[in-house]
Amino acid sequence: MNLLRNFLTIMSVVVALCLTSLAVPVAAQTPEAAATPVTNASVSLTDGYVTGAGDVVEIAVLGREDFRSRVQIQVDGTIQLPFIGDIPAANRTVLQLRDEIRKALIAGQFFNEPAVSVTVVSYASRYVTVLGEVATPGIVAIDRSYRLSEIMARVGGLRSSAADVITLARNTGEALKLDMVAVATGDLGQDVVVNPGDRIFVAVAPQFYIYGEVNGPGAYKLERNMSLRMAIARSGGVTAQGTEKRVKVIRDGKELSKYDLNAAIQPNDTIRIGQRIF
């Protein structure tokens, strides 16, 4: 009698354990099988696009139309897919996300060897901000690693009023002053790689002012290494009533005692061309 009672007790424990294991769906366990996400403090796209909240991705298993979804990555970094439910999707390259979905499908015993395809159809989480004297300032979404020259081309280049120096503020707090001429001519030391979250600013170029006996008085952009003679030519040259022998240059509120037509002028210099004495 005792032997029978012990046998029944052991069998009841075994049955309870089996029922407990069956009560946990296999699919609910699969998100835990996902690989550890990329957690770079400063995301770089050198190794490929890194997904983030707001991006829209299309997931498909080749040959299975019942497993094709176009979903947006939510603010918590997850997406919801057929069979496997919620799965982490942010801070991964496309290849990492593809492999994690494939592993989850295999672990859930939904497919043996699924050919998973992941495509980013809308880029929203990785961008740079471009402001100042460019043709189309604004936010530029980036889907790969870009150099500064490529970003400047995407915003239409510089306005005629733009300075030659570009300020690149990294999301790490670092600020770079970069020469646009060197950037445009392929100097890789100046044409740096731009990272998501960076901010690009182009200031208004310094100016000089000229009036009096010139054909085009007004304010003009101060070009690099511009001499006084070049500034006069930029304003259309001296009129028939004017002369280069009667030039005044005002700098920092004071008139220069001497001037040289071949000397460089400074930002905010004011130049006055006087009349010829007949």
- The CATH number that applies at residue 84 is 3.30.1950.10
- The pLDDT assigned to 43 comes to 63
**76 exposure class (CB count in 10 Å sphere: 0-12, 13-18, 19+):** exposed
pLDDT in tens, the chain (278 residues): 444 444 444 444 443 444 333 333 333 333 333 334 433 345 667 778 899 999 999 999 998 888 889 999 999 999 999 889 999 999 999 999 999 999 999 999 999 999 999 999 999 999 999 999 999 999 999 988 899 999 999 999 999 999 999 999 998 899 999 999 999 998 999 999 999 999 999 999 999 999 999 999 999 999 989 999 999 999 999 999 999 999 999 999 999 988 899 999 999 999 999 998 86
How many CB atoms within 10 Å of residue 229?
15
- The pLDDT assigned to 200 comes to 98
Last residue of a domain, one of 148, 169, 204: 204
Distances (CA, A) of 144 to 77, 147, 150, 193: 20, 10, 11, 10
- 32 within a domain of the structure (yes/no): yes
Supply the pTM of this predicted model: 0.71
- The pLDDT assigned to 102 comes to 94
Tell whether 146 and 179 lie within a shared domain.
yes
Tell whether 89 and 117 lie within a shared domain.
yes
The amino acid present at 96, given as its one-letter code, is Q
Q: Are 78 and 86 in contact (CB under 8 A)?
A: yes
Last residue of a domain, one of 72, 99, 122: 122
Domain CATH number, residue 234: 3.10.560.10
Tell whether 71 and 143 lie within a shared domain.
no
- The pLDDT assigned to 42 comes to 53
Domain that residue 221 falls in: 207-275
Tell whether 260 and 179 lie within a shared domain.
no
Tell whether 44 and 106 lie within a shared domain.
yes
Question: How far is residue 118's CA from residue 116's CA, in Å, rounded to a whole number?
Answer: 7
- The pLDDT assigned to 33 comes to 36
Last residue of a domain, one of 100, 122, 144: 122
- The pLDDT assigned to 41 comes to 41
